[in-house]
Amino acid sequence: MKRIEAVIRPVKVADVVEALEKLGHPGMMITEIEGHGKQLGLQQEVRGKKYRVDFIPKARIEIIVRDPDVDKTVKTILDAAHTGEIGDGKIFIHSVENAIRVRTRESGEIAV
């Protein structure tokens, strides 16, 4: 099993969630986060004064998938989150040793 962690633009969350649900992945976690990558924040101008915003709002979507589903899930996220602009985000893939469903105590892939 793998945990796919996608850090994306907040405005693309609905598109990504809809695409993942169509793919058959209704279970996911979404967190509002702030951060920056290579762009190192933004410079904004408000009423003639310039302000530097070091951390930009982002959304983190985490989903656990079976190994054979990793590539199509990543492609789905890429297609739904892509704008072509700096700040589209990143996707990280982590190995998951085990998963346990608390209600039934099932473990392994069946718990996903």
89-110 pLDDT, tens digit each: 999 999 999 999 999 999 998 9
- Spell out the domain ranges in the chain: 2-111
Domain 2-111 has CATH 3.30.70.120: yes
Distances (CA, A) of 9 to 2, 27, 106: 22, 20, 34
Q: Which residues have a Cβ under 8 Å from the Cβ of 64 and sit 6 or more positions away?
A: 1, 2, 3, 4, 27, 96, 99, 112
pTM of this structure: 0.85
Q: What pLDDT is attached to residue 41? A: 65
Backbone phi, psi, residue 62, to 5°: -120, 135
Torsion sign across C-alpha atoms 21, 26, 32, 33: negative
For tokens 């982590």, name the residue.
94
